[in-house]
């Protein structure tokens, strides 16, 4: 076979072999086999020196052409395989953005915050604005200005946590949100419609129905000619908004130092509708909050003219509302942060 046709055959064989290779590793192995030191081309090159001198240039040129042709075939195939690999990788890495992602557990409002929010929303809708108070306050705002001077027997209704005595003033953790009434009346003139949600503190031992820290929402309305009937109507509307339109309310005489008369408000049981069940202690009625007409002495402490203005106030326990509404049997569940419990709300 002439050197020329031998090289042509070599190129044709290479072309077929290169075309059949399916991946880059195999292609590199084939490249060293076909163009490396032990390849037929290398061998033909070494044998050039055995040819008659006249034939060497022509043979050398053909070998060079064949090597170039084979290298070009390799280069082209390399390009093809790399492009195919890239396409394959893109396909494998493709993300279907329409698939649902891994679900991330996000937190949500605590049931106490939710209850405060729900109750506040109703009251704001009724025209009350939200006032902020301080959890640490003085004895004056928590008791004295609320017609509860030192030594008053009503102080023992709420076991108080005192913080320190500063500048001759007794400083305490507020036992009720009622002090916010005093702060607000000091800074605003009537008419006044405000609510004050917040934390309160009492020296109580944690048990299924007591907690030393809990939440109240205070309400205060001051206007001309407000009556107990206005208070009853307001609370009936409010309780129906929260517990349902069927609820009836009942006022019973009670005692708070800062209201006169004072009332304990009960609503007809939302489970048995008044016929008696475990939730209402077979009474048909459930106590929900304390309220009353603002005592003139309280108006006196803030400089409101009690001849001209009348008012009513109410205070409710947020935990109590939440426990009733959701049937929570133990107040401690509200503070233990057990996600299995909290995630139900």
Which residues of the chain form contacts with ligand PHE (CB under 6 A)? 176, 178, 218, 256, 259, 290-292, 313-315
Q: Which two tokens stand for residue 80?
A: 């093809």
Torsions phi, psi of 173, nearest 5?
-85, 125
The nearer residue to ligand PHE, 66 or 184, going by C-beta atoms, is 184
- Sheet harboring 161-166: ordered strands across? 136-138, 169-173, 161-166
Distance in Å, CB of 222 to ligand PHE, minimum: 13
Nearer to ligand PHE, 314 or 321 (CB): 314
* Residue whose CB is less far from ligand PHE, 218 or 319: 218
* Contact present, 288 and 324 (Cβ < 8 Å): yes
> Cis omega (within 30 of 0) on the bond before 261?
yes
Q: How many CB atoms lie within 10 A of CB 97?
A: 6
Burial (CB count <10 Å: 0-12, 13-18, 19+), residue 32: exposed
Q: How far is the CB of 136 from ligand PHE (least distance, A)?
A: 17
Neighbouring C-beta atoms of residue 109, cutoff 10 Å: 12
Q: What is the closest distance, in whole angstroms, from the C-beta atom of residue 130 to ligand PHE in the complex?
A: 16
Cα distances (angstroms) measured from residue 66 to each of 52, 75, 235:
21, 14, 102
CB burial class (10 A; 0-12, 13-18, 19+) of residue 158?
A: middle
Distance between CA 144 and CA 164 in Å, rounded? 17
* CB of 313 vs ligand PHE, minimal distance in Å: 4
Tokens of 75: 């280069």
Comparison of 40 and 217: residue with beta carbon closer to ligand PHE: 217
Closest residue by beta carbon to ligand PHE: 315
Q: Nearer Cβ to ligand PHE, position 10 or 313?
A: 313
Smallest distance from ligand PHE to CB 171, Å: 19
Q: How far apart are CA 87 and CA 91, in angstroms?
A: 6
Residue with smaller CB distance to ligand PHE, 40 or 263:
263
Q: In the complex, what is the shortest distance from the CB of residue 308 to ligand PHE, in angstroms, rounded to a whole number? A: 21
**Cβ nearer to ligand PHE, comparing 41 with 172:** 172
Cβ-Cβ contacts under 8 Å for 155 (sequence gap 6 or more): 143, 148
Residue closer to ligand PHE, measured from CB, 198 or 290: 290
- Minimum gap (Å) between residue 339 Cβ and ligand PHE: 31
Report, in Å, the least distance between residue 252 CB and ligand PHE.
13
Locus of tokens 């170039």:
68
Residue with smaller CB distance to ligand PHE, 197 or 292 = 292
Smallest distance, Å, CB 99 to ligand PHE? 54
Cβ contacts of residue 313 below 8 Å, gap of 6+? 178, 181, 218, 219, 220, 221, 258, 259, 291, 292, 294
Helices (H) and strands (E) in the chain, counts: 11, 10
Q: Cβ–Cβ contacts within 10 Å for residue 285, how many?
A: 18
């Amino acid at each position: 076979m002439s050197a020329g046709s031998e090289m042509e055959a070599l190129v044709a064989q290479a072309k077929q072999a290169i075309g059949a290779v399916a991946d880059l590793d195999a292609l590199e192995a084939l490249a060293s086999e076909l163009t490396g030191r032990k390849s037929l081309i290398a061998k033909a090159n070494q044998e050039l020196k055995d040819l008659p001198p006249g034939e060497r240039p022509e043979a050398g040129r053909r070998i060079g052409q064949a090597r170039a042709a084979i290298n070009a075939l390799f280069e082209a195939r390399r390009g093809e395989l790399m492009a195919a690999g890239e396409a394959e990788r893109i396909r494998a890495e493709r993300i279907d953005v329409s698939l649902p992602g891994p679900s991330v557990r996000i937190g949500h409002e605590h049931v106490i915050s939710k209850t405060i929010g729900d109750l506040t929303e109703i009251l704001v809708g009724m025209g009350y604005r939200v006032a902020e108070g301080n959890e640490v306050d003085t004895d004056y705002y928590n008791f004295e200005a609320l017609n509860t001077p030192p030594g008053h027997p009503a102080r023992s209704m709420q076991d108080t946590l005192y913080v320190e005595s500063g500048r001759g003033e007794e400083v305490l953790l507020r036992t009720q949100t009622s002090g916010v009434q005093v702060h607000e009346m000091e800074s605003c003139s009537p008419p006044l419609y405000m609510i004050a949600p917040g934390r309160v503190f009492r020296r109580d031992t944690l048990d299924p129905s007591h907690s030393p820290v809990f939440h109240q929402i205070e309400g205060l309305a001051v206007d001309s000619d407000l009556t107990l009937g206005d208070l009853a109507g307001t609370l009936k509307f409010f309780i129906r908004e929260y517990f349902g339109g069927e609820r009836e309310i009942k006022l019973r005489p009670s005692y708070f130092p800062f209201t006169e008369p004072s009332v304990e408000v009960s609503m007809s049981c939302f489970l048995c509708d008044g016929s008696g069940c475990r939730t209402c202690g077979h009474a048909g009625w459930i106590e929900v909050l304390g309220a009353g007409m603002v005592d003139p002495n309280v108006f006196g402490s803030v400089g409101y003219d009690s001849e001209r203005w009348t008012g009513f106030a109410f205070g409710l326990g947020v935990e109590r509302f939440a426990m009733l509404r959701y049937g929570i049997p133990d107040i401690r569940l509200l503070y233990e942060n057990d996600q299995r419990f909290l995630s139900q709300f």
